[in-house]
Amino acid sequence: MASVSFSKHKKAKALKPGSRRPAKELCSECGLCDTYYIQYVREACAFINQKFEQLETQSHGRDRNLDNPDELYFGVYQNMMAARKIEPIPGAQWTGIISTIAINMLNHGLVEGVICVQNTKEDRFQPMPIIARTPEEILAARVNKPTLSPNLSVLEEIDRLGLKRVLVIGVGCQIQALRAIEKKLGLEKLYVLGTPCVDNVTRAGLQKFLDTTNTSPETVVHYEFMQDFRVHFKHEDGSTETVPFFGLKTNQLKDVFAPSCMSCFDYVNSLADLVVGYMGAPYGWQWIVVRNDIGKEMLELAKDQIQTQPVFSKGDRKQAVQQSIPAYDQGITLPMWAAKLMGVVIDKIGPKGLEYARFSIDSHFTRNYLYVRRNYIKKLKAHVPEFAKRIVAQYKLPD
Ligand code: FAD
Ligand code: SF4
């Protein structure tokens, strides 16, 4: 791959912090515009120029097969499995598979640096992207920062440090912009380790979410929307608290999610080489999607540190999704007793494994499709990818 000189990029100037971004209110603060790579923003930004098919082919050698029901939902893949660390990393979001793979890649000399995100000293949820050069720095980035995070803001450092082999950890919108400018980075090898992502928020939005859902917002260190249809919060003292999805104060939370996330259709991080989430796996396990040979090489390094089992699918999500559409749309909130009861019933008879993942994808894609149709009608055709159009077409939407 041709190397790109530092001086060539220097001509373009990063935007000042806090200034309006080219994607305007749809900006997900991916960090690209905080670097001289802003010169490629019109081509690269996930919210200005959606181009999944082209980038899937560039990343995996082909685009997804829309007639294969699993690829329609989960993107191009070679292999899927449920997995967990035999010795989980304390303080990781789940069992720490992401941090483990990144550390192994550094220790084996596959890469010289890892783009990941720590938090600032002052605030446990304020993201601070870094290029980690030691296992300790990768470990310090473990656990989700459940806020928009400018992971790509450290891209200029690659040039400055003269790095040639890099791993980037990130969510879909960051990875779309990264893939679009990949060839400009002058790297010999780029590895991409992704997580699924949905319903992200600004730091202020996160506070509102915690304040409206939680008895002790200041002590929450970790939360996740789990497969048992509850949000699980973990507090500083190790105690946990669960709130049923259906009991969330949807009326107050309607505007809390970032407009970028309300118009995103890359829940499953289609362009990463390897994706590690949880939603297609049984409770307590993580869900791994190997998209290509590079992803296979990355996972291979951790094979002695993880237990795996095949993915499975149980139940039928369709009715639950159809019922969730007006609840999201009109901001309906159930009384807590009814929400708890509904949570228990759905957990017993509801979708499990890959069917749960499809439930989550369907309910978010229908909501997001309505959001884009109402707020950005001119963008609708080009912005919504074909796979998402087909998924949404399975449901009856309100006008
Ligand atoms: P750890 O070893 O704890 O490592 C976490 C890694 O995530 C770190 O390397 C860190 O750099 C990176 N990271 C943290 N915050 C961010 C951020 N804001 N942006 C980019 N990178 C970040 N999985 C699902 O299956 N369904 C979901 O709906 C879902 N939503 C998610 C929403 C967000 C905002 C994020 C960040 C992740 C989401 N995930 C989701 C992924 C899941 O929560 C775990 O992150 C994943 O399973 C890895 O767990 P782990 O223990 O292996 O990670
Ligand atoms: Fe720039 Fe990223 Fe915002 Fe798009 S999403 S405007 S590329 S910072």
Angle at 260 between CA 259 and CA 261, to 5 degrees: 90
> What ligand is nearest to the CA atom of residue 47?
2
- Band of residue 17 on the pLDDT scale cut at 50, 70, 90: confident
266 pLDDT band, cuts 50/70/90, is very high
Q: Closest ligand 1 atom to the C-alpha of 92?
A: 3
Between the CA of 286 and the centroid of ligand 2 the distance, in Å, is: 29
Of all ligands present, the nearest one to the C-alpha of 205 is: 1
Q: Which residues line ligand 2 (CB under 6 A)?
A: 21-23, 27-30, 32-33, 41, 45, 47, 173, 177
Span from the CA of 376 to the centroid of ligand 1 (angstroms) = 28
CA of 391 to the centre of ligand 1 (A): 24
Residue 383 has pLDDT above 70, yes or no: yes
| pLDDT one-digit tens code per residue, 272-296 | 999 999 999 999 999 999 999 999 9
Quote the pLDDT of residue 254.
72
Ligand nearest to the CA of 42: 2
Q: Residue 126 pLDDT > 60, yes or no?
A: yes
End-to-end CA distance of the chain: 49
Across 23-48, b (16+ Cβ under 10 Å) vs e yields beebbbbbbbbbbbbbbebeebbbbb
pTM: 0.94
Question: Rounded CA gap, 144 and 173, in Å?
Answer: 16
Q: How far apart are CA 180 and CA 59, in angstroms?
A: 10
d(CA 330, CA 250): 9
CA distance 192 to 316: 33
In this predicted complex, what is the ipTM? 0.98
